[in-house]
Structure 1
Amino acid sequence: MSSRNSAYVLGAFLILLISLVSVATGLVIMNFMQDDEEPASYTVEGKYLEGSAYYEVSGTGTYKELNESDLSRIYEYTFDVSYVDNSGKVHNETIKSTLIISSETKMPVESLFVYEGEASINGTEVSIWKSLDNSDGESRFYCSEGKALQIEVDTGSFDITAVID
């Protein structure tokens, strides 16, 4: 009897060990695949208004996914821009904008964005969506298949256009 119980315990232990190794391997592979995916980068150009003077603005941008659920994905776009004023001083600013994409339609969530029509960017058909949340400025997203190919942000001082690289 004792050897029979030992065999059952050993068998159960081996099954548990194999299960744990399988789960750990799956998690490592999923993590590796997610880390391999680099977020898109954007080239930013535009203007900065100070009084009656305009300054050319340039910079770069990227995004990070803040949340993914069965219903939507939330992306926060960050644009690091700079301009040189009349005295030669360089000014660096960060501008942010948020896009919420429906997992079902792969388009912005209609209750948070207003559809403004269609356009073509570098031969790709896009739909134009304006954010109803103007707390960070007025944002327009030019979307195709769940991606923003171009983003326009007008904060009142900054008027920028970010184009995916």
Structure 2
Amino acid sequence: MSSRNSAYVLGAFLILLISLVSVATGLVIMNFMQDDEEPASYTVEGKYLEGSAYYEVSGTGTYKELNESDLSRIYEYTFDVSYVDDSGKVHNETIKSTLIISSETKMPVESLFVYEGEASINGTEVSIWKSLDNADGESRFYCSEGKALQIEVDTGSFDITAVID
């Protein structure tokens, strides 16, 4: 009887061990599948033009990755800004802009963006790219290693600069 009980205990132990290994493996796989890098946040400043008057604008921004392929990554930037008019009324607006980065070069896709030169932002060398799609206004991206460190958007009414936090 004791060898039979030992077999049951050994069997139960093996089942428990297999279960623990399965759970641990699942947790490791889930950890690798999650994107550890949180989207960057941006501080936004600028102005809103209304006729001959202009108002100071401030706000925040972030981005989301719309897709990733072997060829490119598409990022949609959303900037939530506000300003106070002469009557004291607070106005809230959302401004969007899109950046498409080549997976190969880690720079904006040259057929959609115009290269405008180099600059330095807080000691980091960046390349400046202007979007050819001006449907939502004119956008300039200051990029380094596939990331926009600064974005300027001019919609005609809003003229904002978003700087990565």
Q: State the TM-score, normalized to the length of structure 1.
A: 0.83
Per the TM alignment, residue 42 of structure 1 is displaced from its structure 2 partner at its CA by 0.2
Distance, in Å, in 1 between the alignment partners of 2:4 and 2:67 is 51
Secondary structure in structure 2 of the residue aligned to 1:25: helix
Per the TM alignment, residue 14 of structure 1 is displaced from its structure 2 partner at its CA by 13
Secondary structure in structure 2 of the residue aligned to 1:44: strand
Distance, in Å, in 1 between the alignment partners of 2:16 and 2:133 is 51
Per the TM alignment, residue 95 of structure 1 is displaced from its structure 2 partner at its CA by 0.2
Query: Cα deviations across residues 77-135 of structure 1 (Å, max 9, x unaligned)?
Result: 00000000000000000000000000000000000000000000000000000000001
| CA separation of 1:10 and 1:137: change in aligned 2, threshold 3 A | farther
Per the TM alignment, residue 37 of structure 1 is displaced from its structure 2 partner at its CA by 1.9
Per the TM alignment, residue 29 of structure 1 is displaced from its structure 2 partner at its CA by 3.0
Which residue is 1:37 aligned to?
Answer: 37
Per the TM alignment, residue 36 of structure 1 is displaced from its structure 2 partner at its CA by 3.2
Query: Cα deviations across residues 44-93 of structure 1 (Å, max 9, x unaligned)?
Result: 00000011110000000000000000000000000000000000000000
The alignment covers a number of residue pairs equal to 165
Distance, in Å, in 1 between the alignment partners of 2:41 and 2:75 is 13
Q: State the TM-score, normalized to the length of structure 2.
A: 0.83
| CA separation of 1:158 and 1:39: change in aligned 2, threshold 3 A | same
Same amino acid, percent of matched pairs:
99
| CA separation of 1:36 and 1:51: change in aligned 2, threshold 3 A | same
Secondary structure in structure 1 of the residue aligned to 2:110: coil
State the superposition RMSD in angstroms.
Answer: 4.3
Structure having the higher Rg: 2
Which residue is 1:65 aligned to?
Answer: 65
Deviates more, 1:17-26 or 1:127-136: 17-26
| CA separation of 1:6 and 1:68: change in aligned 2, threshold 3 A | farther
State whether structure 2 residue 76 is matched by structure 1 residue 76. yes
Deviates more, 1:17-26 or 1:51-60: 17-26
Structure 2: 5+ residue stretches without partners: none
